[in-house]
Amino acid sequence: MYQFVIPVHHVTWSTRSVLEGIYEKYKPKHIYVITSENEIKILKDKSNYWKIKNLTLLDEDNFFLNKYGLTKNDIVSQITQNKPNYTPGWLYQQIIKLGANDAIDQLDEVFVVWDSDLLPVNSWPILDKKKEKFALLQDKSYGNQDILNSWKNLIINVLGINPVEDERGTFTSHHMIFKKKYLKSLKLKFKDHFKSDQNWIKLIIKAANIYGSFGEYWTYASWVNHINNNDLNYYPYEKYGLTTERFYDDGNGLFSRKFKMHYNFDEQEDFYPSYSSIIKFIDKNYQFPPSSLSFETNIRHTKKKDENIHLEEKRSIWREKKTYDKDNKIL
């Protein structure tokens, strides 16, 4: 039984199913959701009826206040450089993941960070032969190479190591097994590189400002691989990545529309479908269920250049190609 840490930007139509899915599949010791005060109110109101236990909701605006005297605004105001489509809030949620062990005193030495849009379906066990493992879920042959290069350059130049590589998959795995001892030494490495006594948050932002972006999962995995490669254990892409899918769905996408039709959903009701209803719907639409589904809600996923669309998006049966005008309205 592991503790899960999940940053949530907004409560979406899939939030319930993801949380219930984690509880169903992994029986977590505890789930910590970090989100804004407004989203906390929504979750408090709704989650009483969801099939989850041991849930704690934490305010993202003051997540680092007790430990470092920093609010969210203090942190994001320092972010000056961003690649297209990546906002200061996106970097902040990466910092939340890396800093969860600093801000949550109750976390064990080993804990799981999970992206809020990742639905486990025919998913992987975390513990395999007494080793904690994450799964590679993203093929490396597609994606925005400019952004990947910025992440790679940061790892090489700031950490002074070679990024960990896999033949088929990337380490943007949408979840990660974190260990406190590696997080601690990683943060000290940023201090060492910059010869600074500033806290690690400011130094990661400084690095991201220099190199243009930052990839938390790849950075962490590369550091663990450098310190102790026997402790970097994962399922190769061929094991679970080959069946995962990723697609845009804000509650009105193809998956949601078909789901609503299947269950004769009343549009006047709140749309927070249960995990069990989602799984039943998936079973009716797949001969072999996927390992996981990622429900992207950022509209940028519908506007990618073809060469930047990940394989998991290209092959999804729920992918829709739409064009938009300058005001983000569908043409």
Q: CB atoms < 10 A from the CB of 83, how many?
A: 16
The answer to whether 4 and 25 have CB atoms below 8 angstroms apart is no
Same domain? 152 vs 110: yes
Q: Where do the DSSP E strands lie in the chain?
A: 3-7, 30-35, 55-59, 110-114, 118-120, 127-128, 131-132, 134-135, 175-179, 234-235, 245-248, 292-296
The answer to whether 215 and 206 have CB atoms below 8 angstroms apart is no
> Of 238, 259, 274, which one is at a domain's C-terminal end?
238
Looking at residue 301, what is its pLDDT? 65
Looking at residue 213, what is its pLDDT? 86
Q: What is the pTM of this model?
A: 0.93
pLDDT digits (tens, 9 = 90+) for 246-304: 999 999 999 999 999 999 998 878 999 999 999 999 999 999 999 999 999 977 667 77
Question: pLDDT exceeding 70 applies to what percent of the chain?
Answer: 94
Asked, for residue 225, whether it belongs to a domain, the answer is yes
Q: C-alpha angle with apex 307: 301 to 310, nearest 5 degrees?
A: 50
Asked, for residue 325, whether it belongs to a domain, the answer is no
Asked, for residue 327, whether it belongs to a domain, the answer is no
Same domain? 254 vs 111: no
Asked, for residue 326, whether it belongs to a domain, the answer is no
- Cα–chain-centroid distance for residue 240? 17
Contacts of 90 (CB under 8 A, 6+ apart): 82
Asked, for residue 321, whether it belongs to a domain, the answer is no
Same domain? 213 vs 253: no
Core vs surface per residue 300-313: b (16+ CB within 10 A) or e: ebbebeeeebbbbb
| Boundaries of domain holding 254 | 243-314
Same domain? 169 vs 302: no
Looking at residue 327, what is its pLDDT? 54
Nearest one of 35, 36, 71, 82 to 201, comparing CA atoms? 71
Residue that the structure tokens 């990337």 belong to: 170
Same domain? 10 vs 99: yes
Looking at residue 84, what is its pLDDT? 47
- When divided into structural domains, the chain yields a total of 2
Asked, for residue 108, whether it belongs to a domain, the answer is yes
Same domain? 47 vs 114: yes
SS3 198: coil
Asked, for residue 258, whether it belongs to a domain, the answer is yes
Same domain? 233 vs 252: no
Same domain? 60 vs 131: yes
Same domain? 183 vs 295: no
Q: CB atoms < 10 A from the CB of 26, how many?
A: 19
Looking at residue 324, what is its pLDDT? 45
First and final C-alpha spacing in the chain? 48
Same domain? 232 vs 269: no
Same domain? 85 vs 209: yes
The answer to whether 36 and 145 have CB atoms below 8 angstroms apart is no
Determine the Cα–Cα distance for residues 64 and 70; give it in Å rounded to an integer: 6
Following DSSP, what letter does each residue of 314-330 receive, concatenated?
HT-TT-----B-TTS-B
Asked, for residue 319, whether it belongs to a domain, the answer is no
The domain that holds 128 is classified in CATH as 3.90.550
Q: CB atoms < 10 A from the CB of 227, how many?
A: 15
Same domain? 41 vs 147: yes
> Of 238, 273, 293, which one is at a domain's C-terminal end?
238
From first to last of the 331 residues of the chain, give the pLDDT tens digit.
899 999 999 999 999 999 999 999 999 999 999 999 999 999 999 999 999 999 999 999 999 999 999 999 999 998 876 554 567 888 999 999 999 999 999 999 999 999 999 999 999 999 999 999 999 999 998 877 788 888 999 999 999 999 999 999 999 999 999 999 999 999 999 999 999 999 999 999 999 989 988 999 999 999 999 999 999 999 999 999 999 999 999 999 999 999 999 999 988 789 999 999 999 999 999 999 999 999 999 776 677 777 778 899 999 999 986 544 445 554 4
